[in-house]
Structure 1
Amino acid sequence: MDWKSFMEGGKHLSIFALSLRAIILYIALIIATRMMGHRQVGIISGHNYLVAAGIVSLAAIRMINPESSLTAGLIIVFAYAGVNILLSYFDIKWPNVIDRKPVILMKDGILLKRSLFDSHVTLDNLLGQLRLKGAHNLSEIDTVVLEPYGKISVIKKLEALPLTRKQMNLPPKPVALPTILIYNGKIDENNLHQMGLDSTWLKKKLGEKGITDSKDVFLAMLEANGTVYISV
């Protein structure tokens, strides 16, 4: 293999060389994304979005065009990542300088027309976002905020909020993540023991569902309220 053509590009690269270049670029993208951390994955600011779009476009061009320089592509990918990390640091230190501020679109149940115009949010856009939040009636909403990352936060009026267990004088329900006991027919012994349970208890629970062999179970989970969810 001609390594100079491989790195700098050439018209007659083999399928193996093209595949290897694509793999190298893909691994570089993974490393760069890991370097940038969760902020990049969540795309929670404008510069995060630009970096993501730029890196993906750059990598796609290098993967498709055999005459493009792989070396230059790798340099630009990590340069993009470095600039994004720097901007993210500045964003934490001086958020009002680097990124946008949240914009209040509704306050005390009144739509702020100037804020809607300045943010380029149409009424259809706003109503669609509110429906996704489960807020179908404007009369039930107290405050609407357009967050810097483009999402909308909704605060409903007190009379429109659902009753809580505390308001109904009911005991609180335990809140915890469900624990996987069986996945794809295999019992997770560590999770079972951490919950203070054993295989006898699990077999009893499976027997209540008419299941005699754990290998027939695709997924079994112990939920916070003590319910065992079983899917075969």
Structure 2
Amino acid sequence: MTWNDFWFGAKELPFWAFSIRAIILYSSLIIATRFMRQRQISILSGHNHLVAAGIVSLAAVRMVNSESSLVAGVAIVFVYAAINILLSYLDVKFPRKVDRHATVVIENGKIIRKNLKDVRITIDNLLSQLRLKNVFSLSEVLYAVVEPTGKINVVKSSQSLSLTRKQMGLPLKNVSVPTILIYDGKVQNDNLKMLGYDIKWLDARIKEKGIANVEDIFLAQLEADGIVYISV
């Protein structure tokens, strides 16, 4: 084996050559990551994901394929890093043009349907993320914001904080999992039947909110405290 084979690849390489090539590639990845700095690890925007996936795939191929060029692999790693640094700089200067930005999807307990569509989140995804935040009633939410990372942060209204009852020494209410009654203008009959209610009961709750047609409702949900939450 010659040094040319080591750097540019050959049909066969000894085990020690594979090991050294792997060390060089891994060291290059570490150095490139240091150049990209903490923001790439903590924020992980769209282009960060692409660069991470590309670099990992590239390094894996170079580590196991003896015919691949180590020089080309190292060069591509640093080119990837340079492109990512440039995109990150542009993202800082023009955040709304290069990558995603924080988006409010619930404000004062009301779902903002346009923003929900913009961030490509379904109502089931939203409700599951809220449950992970220990939020089971949409009426408790003052703001819900989808961050650039894709995570959802929630600010609850002060009167809805469950800790208040504990601090006052009051017994907790019996709670159940909130259930969707209407979604996108369509009554969820199975859920209604499971709860032991009928369409007449639902119509009465809708009229109490001053809404005439079911088709006008985006989401209606029976919440843990027995309140019917409605968002048009």
Q: Same fold (TM over 0.5)?
A: yes
Residue 44 of structure 1 is matched in structure 2 by: 44
Tell me the amino acid that sits aligned with residue 156 of structure 2. K
Matches within 5 A, 1:211-230: none
Structure 2 residue 54 is the aligned partner of structure 1 residue 57: no
Deviation beyond 4 Å, 4+ runs, structure 1: none
Deviation at 1:128, TM superposition (A): 1.8
1:75-224 counterparts in 2 under 5 A?
Answer: 75-161=75-161
5+ residue gaps, structure 2, are 169-232
8 A Cα contact 2:43 2:148, kept in partner: no
2:9 corresponds to? 9
The whole-number CA distance in structure 2 between the counterparts of 1:110 and 1:39 is 33
Does 2:35 correspond to 1:32?
Answer: no
Cα distance in 2 for residues equivalent to 1:117 and 1:98: 19
Flag structure 1 segments of 5+ consecutive residues without an equivalent: 169-232
What's 1:71 paired with?
A: 71
TM-score under structure 1 normalisation? 0.66
- Give distance in 2, aligned partners of 1:9 and 1:43: 36
- What percentage of aligned pairs have identical amino acids? 56
Please state how far the C-alpha of 1:162 moved relative to its aligned partner: 5.8
Distance 1:60 1:128 in 2: 35
- Normalising by the residue count of structure 2, what TM-score does the alignment of the two structures yield? 0.66
1:118 positional shift: 2.8
3-state SS in 2 of match to 1:121: coil
How far 1:114 sits from its partner (Å)?
A: 2.6
> RMSD in angstroms over aligned alpha carbons?
1.9
Structure 1 residue 104: Cα displacement: 1.6
TM-aligned CA deviation for residue 136 of structure 1: 2.3
Distance across 2 between alignment mates of 1:116 and 1:68: 45
The aligned residue for residue 191 of structure 2 is none
CA distance in 2, matches of 1:31, 1:132: 36
Deviation per CA, 1:99-133, whole angstroms, max 9, x where unpaired? Answer: 12222211110112232223221122112211222
Q: Secondary structure at the match of 2:80?
A: helix
